[in-house]
Amino acid sequence: MSLNPTPTPIIDVHAHLIPPRLVQILQKSGQKYGVHVGGSEAAPTVRLEGSSWTKPIPLPLTRIDERIQTMDASGVDMQVLSSWIDFSGYTMPLQDGIALSELQNETIAEVAASNPGRYLPAGTVPLQDGEVAARMLEHLVKDYGMKAVQVATYFGGERFLDHDSLDPFYATAQDLGVLVLFHPYEENHPPGLEDYFLHNCIGYPLASAIALARMMFSGTFTRFPDLLCRFPHAGGYLPYQLSRIRRAHAVRPEAKGRGFEGDPVDVLKRLYFDTVTQNPATVKFLADIVGYDRLMMGSDYPFDMMEYDPVATVRQAVPAEYQERVLGGTVASMLCRTAGCGCNSPRLFPQTGSAAQVA
């Protein structure tokens, strides 16, 4: 455990996990979930039905004991456990997407329940169908006590996160006070990004910026003003080209084509952003736009592109009077880790059997 001098836990809001039991199930009976397993034991790969083969699964994603050791060494009390974004599966047939989402939610809830003082679970839902995703989200809150859900940006290039069919999901997330953890993902990389690992270091911040801008200009954030949204990697590229976004909205009719009439900066001030930047100066720049109360500490554990000392980044970037909030206070209040939150959701995730059918 960290040497945290405050009563508020230091919480990493951006961390990923593939539960070991999930891997075992997929290796034994993956086709039941629309998943094909290949590669080797040391470097397994998967292909979701309707998708392409993933890169080899990073094995640190599956190591629970090593995770706790890293958290202790970096001064982190708790992690919000999100699934590997490559398993989002929005291009799968709907029934496969439901089955895989249920399996991920069940196994992540089990890991969180095994150590509730260190882990908070984030769910996943099949966004192939907004109505089905909304019903599964209700199940996650009611039966597993989850107060966060991870959402990918990739739908196979046919839809985007501003599509009207997703409104039932957003409405339910807003009504239930669930924190939506947006995360970039892209299989069909734009030209020029296939080399030099650019698909990640350039492509992922770009995907976040595209998602944020589309949801802004489409009026999604206007229709759901109380939706709790966290964008990773300090918002991708959009906050750092905000003046260009505002100019487009001021002078181009396309930016008003779906009726958005607000100021883009006011939209950003309603959202939340993690601090995964590898640069305290970037965090300070973002805070000058949105305020320190809109920042949440993250690491992107356990990838090699992670923030290796996320607590230090926050302490260097954030004035002392805001540090407790950024290091965990804001996300703790959302995920029911504070006294008197008023949430009636179970905290120990008692249902660890097969997830209920939602469609």
pLDDT surpassing 80 at residue 34: yes
Q: Is residue 230 part of a domain?
A: yes
| CATH code for the domain of 28 | 3.20.20.140
Query: In whole angstroms, how far apart are CA 227 and each of 75, 167, 221, 282, 295?
Result: 30, 11, 7, 25, 16
In a domain, 344, yes or no: no
Domain membership of residue 356 (yes or no) is no
- The burial class, CB within 10 Å (0-12 / 13-18 / 19+), for 2 is middle
Q: Is the peptide bond before 168 cis (omega within 30 degrees of 0)?
A: no
| 14, pLDDT greater than 90 | yes
DSSP classification of residue 234? G
User: Which of the four pLDDT bands, split at 50, 70 and 90, describes residue 47?
Assistant: very high
pLDDT at position 110: 96
Beta bridge partners of 37: 46
Q: What is the CA radius of gyration of the chain?
A: 19
Q: What is the pLDDT of residues 238-288, one digit of tens each?
A: 999 999 999 999 999 999 989 898 999 999 999 999 999 999 999 999 999
The predicted structure's pLDDT at residue 2? 59
pLDDT tens string 95-132? 999 999 999 999 999 999 999 999 999 999 999 999 99
* 152 belongs to a structural domain: yes
For the sheet with 272-274, list strands across it. 148-152, 179-183, 228-231, 272-274, 295-296
Where is pLDDT greater, at 158 or 17? Answer: 17
> Residues of the chain with pLDDT > 70: what percent?
92
What's the one-letter identity of residue 25? I
Quote the distance between the C-alpha of residue 13 and its chain's center.
8
Count of structural domains within the chain: 1
Domain hosting residue 188, numbered range: 11-334
